[in-house]
Amino acid sequence: MKISLTSGKTISCSSESSILESLRKEDVHLTASCGGKGTCGKCRVIIKEGAVRSLSTAKLSQEEIDKGYALACKSFPEENLLIEIPKDSFLTLEGKIAVGKARDLAELLQSAGVRIEPLTERVLLNLPQPSIDDNISDLERLKRGLMSKGLGCLRVPFRLLPGLAHKVRENNWEITLCTVQSEDCYELTNIFPGNTQSPRYGFAIDIGTTTVVVYLVDLADGRLIDIASVYNSQISFGDDVITRIVHAVDHNGLGALHKAVISDINTMFSILRKTHNIDINSIDSIVIAANTTMTHLFLNLDPASIREEPYIPTANLFPLSYAGEVGIRVNPNTPIYSFPCVASYVGGDIVAGVLASRMHKKEDLCLFLDIGTNGEVVLGNSEWLMAAACSAGPCFEGSGIKYGMRATEGAIEDVKINPETIEPEIKVIGDTAPIGICGSGMIDLIAEMFFTGILNQKGKLQKGVSNRIREGAGGLEFVVYSGNGREIVIAEPDIENIIRAKAAIYAGCSVLLKEVGFNFEDLHKIYIAGGFGKFLDIDKAIILGMLPDIPREKFEYLGNTSVTGAYLCMLSRWMRDEAEEIARKMTYLELSVSRSFMDEYVSGLFIPHTDMNAFPSVKNLIKG
Amino acid sequence: MKISLTSGKTISCSSESSILESLRKEDVHLTASCGGKGTCGKCRVIIKEGAVRSLSTAKLSQEEIDKGYALACKSFPEENLLIEIPKDSFLTLEGKIAVGKARDLAELLQSAGVRIEPLTERVLLNLPQPSIDDNISDLERLKRGLMSKGLGCLRVPFRLLPGLAHKVRENNWEITLCTVQSEDCYELTNIFPGNTQSPRYGFAIDIGTTTVVVYLVDLADGRLIDIASVYNSQISFGDDVITRIVHAVDHNGLGALHKAVISDINTMFSILRKTHNIDINSIDSIVIAANTTMTHLFLNLDPASIREEPYIPTANLFPLSYAGEVGIRVNPNTPIYSFPCVASYVGGDIVAGVLASRMHKKEDLCLFLDIGTNGEVVLGNSEWLMAAACSAGPCFEGSGIKYGMRATEGAIEDVKINPETIEPEIKVIGDTAPIGICGSGMIDLIAEMFFTGILNQKGKLQKGVSNRIREGAGGLEFVVYSGNGREIVIAEPDIENIIRAKAAIYAGCSVLLKEVGFNFEDLHKIYIAGGFGKFLDIDKAIILGMLPDIPREKFEYLGNTSVTGAYLCMLSRWMRDEAEEIARKMTYLELSVSRSFMDEYVSGLFIPHTDMNAFPSVKNLIKG
pLDDT averaged over chain A? 91
Contact residues, chain B, for A312 at CB < 8 Å: 130, 135-138, 165
Q: Which residues pair with residue B231 across a beta bridge?
A: B211
Contact residues, chain B, for A305 at CB < 8 Å: 138, 165, 169
Q: Answer yes or no: are the C-beta atoms of A439 and A397 closer than 8 Å.
A: yes
Split at pLDDT 50, 70, 90, the class of A37 is: confident
Of A165, A311, A317, the CB nearest to B135: A311
pLDDT averaged over chain B? 91
Angle at A208 between CA A207 and CA A212, to 5 degrees: 55
Using DSSP's 3-state secondary structure scheme, residue B134 falls into: strand
Q: Which of A544-548, B473-477, B532-536 is least confident?
A: B532-536
User: B82, B89, B87, B78: which is closest to B68 by C-alpha?
Assistant: B82
Asked if the Cβ–Cβ distance from A161 to B319 is below 8 Å, we say yes
Asked if the Cβ–Cβ distance from A139 to B317 is below 8 Å, we say yes
Asked if the Cβ–Cβ distance from A319 to B156 is below 8 Å, we say yes
Asked if the Cβ–Cβ distance from B300 to A162 is below 8 Å, we say yes
- What does the alpha-carbon distance between residue B140 and residue B161 come to, in Å, rounded to a whole number? 11
Residue in chain A closest to B130 (alpha carbons) equals A310
The answer on pLDDT for A367 being more than 60 is: yes
Q: Where are the beta strands (DSSP E) in A275-382?
A: 283-290, 321-322, 335-338, 366-371, 376-380
The shortest C-alpha distance from A64 to chain B (Å) reads 46
Asked if the Cβ–Cβ distance from A158 to B319 is below 8 Å, we say yes
Residue that wins the pLDDT comparison between A183 and B471: B471
DSSP state letters, B528-581: EEES--S---HHHHHHHTSS-SS-GGGEEEEE-HHHHHHHHHHHBHHHHHHHHH
Of A134, A299, A302, the CB nearest to B166: A302
Contact residues, chain B, for A130 at CB < 8 Å: 310, 312
Q: Average the pLDDT over A550-571 and give the result.
A: 94
Asked if the Cβ–Cβ distance from A315 to B130 is below 8 Å, we say no
Q: Answer yes or no: are the C-beta atoms of B544 and B447 closer than 8 Å.
A: yes
Q: Answer yes or no: are the C-beta atoms of B536 and B505 closer than 8 Å.
A: no
Contact residues, chain A, for B185 at CB < 8 Å: 155
The shortest C-alpha distance from B226 to chain A (Å) reads 30
Per-residue pLDDT reduced to its tens digit, A440-489: 999 999 999 999 999 999 999 999 999 999 998 878 999 999 987 778 99
The answer on pLDDT for A373 being more than 50 is: yes
Model pLDDT, residue A62: 83
Asked if the Cβ–Cβ distance from B316 to A130 is below 8 Å, we say no
- What does the alpha-carbon distance between residue A119 and residue A116 come to, in Å, rounded to a whole number? 10
Q: Answer yes or no: are the C-beta atoms of B100 and B433 closer than 8 Å.
A: no
Strand B120-126 relative to strand B174-182: parallel, antiparallel, unpaired? antiparallel
Asked if the Cβ–Cβ distance from A165 to B302 is below 8 Å, we say yes
- What does the alpha-carbon distance between residue A341 and residue A588 come to, in Å, rounded to a whole number? 11
User: B352, B230, B336, B243: which is closest to B291 by C-alpha?
Assistant: B352
Q: Answer yes or no: are the C-beta atoms of B433 and B484 closer than 8 Å.
A: yes
Of A161, A300, A305, the CB nearest to B314: A161
Model pLDDT, residue B100: 43
Model pLDDT, residue B99: 42
Asked if the Cβ–Cβ distance from B162 to A302 is below 8 Å, we say yes
Residue in chain A closest to B155 (alpha carbons) equals A184
Helix and strand tally (H, E) in chain A? 18, 28
Query: Could you tell me which residues come within 8 angstroms of residue A482 by beta carbon, excluding any fewer than 6 positions away?
Result: A488
Model pLDDT, residue A94: 55
- What does the alpha-carbon distance between residue A106 and residue A112 come to, in Å, rounded to a whole number? 10
Of B137, B310, B313, the CB nearest to A314: B137
Asked if the Cβ–Cβ distance from A314 to B169 is below 8 Å, we say no
Q: Average the pLDDT over B158-179 and give the result.
A: 97
Model pLDDT, residue A98: 43
Residue in chain A closest to B340 (alpha carbons) equals A137
Annotation: CATH topology of A359-394+498-623: Nucleotidyltransferase; domain 5 (3.30.420)
Q: Which residues pair with residue A38 across a beta bridge?
A: none
The shortest C-alpha distance from A54 to chain B (Å) reads 36
Query: Could you tell me which residues come within 8 angstroms of residue A520 by beta carbon, excluding any fewer than 6 positions away?
Result: A509, A510, A513, A548, A550
- What does the alpha-carbon distance between residue A11 and residue A25 come to, in Å, rounded to a whole number? 9
Of B135, B311, B322, the CB nearest to A312: B135
Split at pLDDT 50, 70, 90, the class of B115 is: confident
Q: Average the pLDDT over A356-374 and give the result.
A: 93
CB atoms within 10 A of CB A501: 25
What pTM does this model have?
0.89
Asked if the Cβ–Cβ distance from A314 to B185 is below 8 Å, we say no
Kindly report the CATH class assigned to A120-193.
alpha beta
Q: What's the CATH number for B92-338?
A: 3.30.420.480
Q: Answer yes or no: are the C-beta atoms of A454 and A478 closer than 8 Å.
A: yes
Asked if the Cβ–Cβ distance from B140 to A166 is below 8 Å, we say no
Answer whether A120-193 and A359-394+498-623 agree in fold.
no
Split at pLDDT 50, 70, 90, the class of B409 is: confident
Rg (CA), chain B: 26
- What does the alpha-carbon distance between residue A472 and residue A480 come to, in Å, rounded to a whole number? 13
The answer on pLDDT for A374 being more than 90 is: no
- What does the alpha-carbon distance between residue B454 and residue B583 come to, in Å, rounded to a whole number? 45
Cβ-based contacts under 8 A for chains A and B: 131
Distances (CA, A) of A287 to A262, A315, A562: 14, 17, 11
The shortest C-alpha distance from A366 to chain B (Å) reads 26
What is the DSSP secondary structure assignment for residue A357, as one 8-state letter? H
Residue in chain A closest to B169 (alpha carbons) equals A305
Contact residues, chain B, for A311 at CB < 8 Å: 135
Domain ranges of chain B: 2-89, 92-338, 355-624
The shortest C-alpha distance from B139 to chain A (Å) reads 5
Residue A228 backbone phi and psi in degrees, to 5: -135, 150
What is the DSSP secondary structure assignment for residue A241, as one 8-state letter? H
The shortest C-alpha distance from A343 to chain B (Å) reads 8
Of B161, B162, B299, the CB nearest to A161: B299
The answer on pLDDT for B359 being more than 60 is: yes
Q: Could you report the predicted ipTM of this complex, rounded to two decimals?
A: 0.89
Of B138, B184, B325, the CB nearest to A315: B138
Quick one: B571 exposed, middle or buried, by C-beta within 10 A (0-12, 13-18, 19+)? buried
Give domain B2-89's CATH architecture: Roll (3.10)
Over pLDDT 90: what percentage of chain B?
71
Task: Cis check for the bond before A199: say yes or no (omega within 30 of 0).
Answer: yes
- What does the alpha-carbon distance between residue A231 and residue A217 come to, in Å, rounded to a whole number? 21
Model pLDDT, residue B190: 97
Asked if the Cβ–Cβ distance from B302 to A343 is below 8 Å, we say no
- What does the alpha-carbon distance between residue B327 and residue B340 come to, in Å, rounded to a whole number? 21
Percent of residues in chain A assigned helix, strand, coil, to nearest 5: 35, 25, 40
Kindly report the CATH class assigned to A202-338.
alpha beta
Contact residues, chain A, for B343 at CB < 8 Å: 135
H/E element holding A579? Answer: helix A573-585
The answer on pLDDT for B95 being more than 60 is: no
Of A132, A155, A312, the CB nearest to B130: A312
Residue in chain A closest to B133 (alpha carbons) equals A310
Q: Which of A141-150, A514-523, B91-100, B187-196 is least confident?
A: B91-100
Residue ranges of alpha helices (H) inside B277-406 are 292-298, 304-307, 323-326, 348-357
Contact residues, chain A, for B313 at CB < 8 Å: 137-138
Contact residues, chain A, for B130 at CB < 8 Å: 310, 312
Distances (CA, A) of A418 to A466, A468, A542, B182, B520: 12, 13, 20, 75, 111
Split at pLDDT 50, 70, 90, the class of B433 is: confident
Of A159, A161, A310, the CB nearest to B131: A310
- What does the alpha-carbon distance between residue A336 and residue A325 come to, in Å, rounded to a whole number? 10
Asked if the Cβ–Cβ distance from B325 to A132 is below 8 Å, we say no
- What does the alpha-carbon distance between residue B444 and residue B425 come to, in Å, rounded to a whole number? 11
User: A58, A67, A66, A51: which is closest to A19 by C-alpha?
Assistant: A51
Q: Average the pLDDT over B25-30 and give the result.
A: 79
- What does the alpha-carbon distance between residue A349 and residue A354 come to, in Å, rounded to a whole number? 9
The shortest C-alpha distance from B587 to chain A (Å) reads 12
The answer on pLDDT for B102 being more than 60 is: no
Split at pLDDT 50, 70, 90, the class of A99 is: very low
Contact residues, chain A, for B139 at CB < 8 Å: 314-317
Q: Answer yes or no: are the C-beta atoms of A379 and A581 closer than 8 Å.
A: no
Query: Could you tell me which residues come within 8 angstroms of residue A199 by beta carbon, excluding any fewer than 6 positions away?
Result: A218, A220, A278, A282
Contact residues, chain B, for A304 at CB < 8 Å: 165
